[in-house]
Amino acid sequence: MRLLAALALLVPLVASRSLEPDSSSPHTAKVSYDGYHLYRIRAADQKEAEFLAKRFATYHTELTSRGFEVIIPPNEVRNFNELGLNARLLSDDIGSQIRDESKTPTYKRELHKIGELPDLSWYDSFHAYEDHLQYWDDLVAAFPNNSKKYNIGSSYENRTIYAFHFFGDKGIKGDKPIILWHSTVHAREWITTLVIEYWAWQLIDGYKSRDSDITKVLNYYDFWLVPFHNPDGK
């Protein structure tokens, strides 16, 4: 209850201000989050979590399985810390993180020869959909005798849905158990695309380098991968 009592007295000093831009500012004005802190607060129970959500209702917040997360402006960080919450600092500069995530993608086809696996710098940044399509073509080109690309239909907005078949020593007609990986099923699931791409990269790299475990698995199973189950993102 110490937390609830402290918040009842002190949070209004902080929560009276909103993180939203000043209503008098033009809507086209650029908003800066430089110096904004991101905290994760551990609540004792669901009731306390709901209390936190109510107290910080005017802030950017998120209730996750790991705790209650809130973004605090730099001029209110001291007041927030004085509340004595069970809070963990996740970032001391949200603005800097936003800029890092907006950097130009580092992947360039010329960084590797056709037929070789792309450089792992691909995973350093976010990429456009068209770049992902090219990346998968490069993966297949690096594994020409053990992979095949298929057109399995069209999305609602008429984008082609592709499937990729990876196989081992029995070839494409091997009668083997199947492992299916698919991703990007719902909107805003961009990280799942990178996960399945990294798995595919590891399969190819392991098989080409004769890693015993990966070779054994790929020779026993057929892998079918659908990286863009929903390319429309809706």
Spell out the residues 6+ positions from residue 66 whose beta carbon is closer than 8 angstroms to its own: 40
- CATH 3.30.930.10 corresponds to the domain 109-226: no
Strands 160-166 and 147-154: antiparallel
Nearest to 156 by CA among 45, 59, 93, 231: 231
Q: How many CB atoms lie within 10 A of CB 41?
A: 20
Residue 79 has a pLDDT of 92
Going from N- to C-terminal start, the domains of the chain cover 2-14+33-101, 109-226
What is the Cα–Cα distance from 234 to 216, expressed in whole angstroms?
Answer: 38
- Which residues on adjacent β-strands are paired with residue 88? 40
What is the Cα–Cα distance from 148 to 115, expressed in whole angstroms?
Answer: 14
Residue 2 has a pLDDT of 43
110-147: buried (b, 16+ CB within 10 Å) or exposed (e) per residue?
eebeeeebbeeebeeeebeeeebbebbebbbbbbeebb
**Dihedral in degrees, nearest 10, Cα atoms 223, 192, 49, 58:** -170
Spell out the residues 6+ positions from residue 158 whose beta carbon is closer than 8 angstroms to its own: none
Nearest to 226 by CA among 189, 191, 197: 197
Residue 150 has a pLDDT of 96
The torsion angles phi and psi of 53, rounded to 5 degrees, stand at -60, -35
Residue 190 has a pLDDT of 82
Q: What is the mean pLDDT of each run of 10 residues along the chain (234 residues)?
A: 41 44 54 92 81 86 82 94 90 89 66 79 83 93 95 94 93 82 88 94 95 95 94 83
Helix (H), strand (E) at residue 230: none
Fold of 2-14+33-101: Alpha-Beta Plaits (3.30.70)
Residue 21 has a pLDDT of 43
Residue 101 has a pLDDT of 74
CA-only gyration radius of the chain, Å: 24
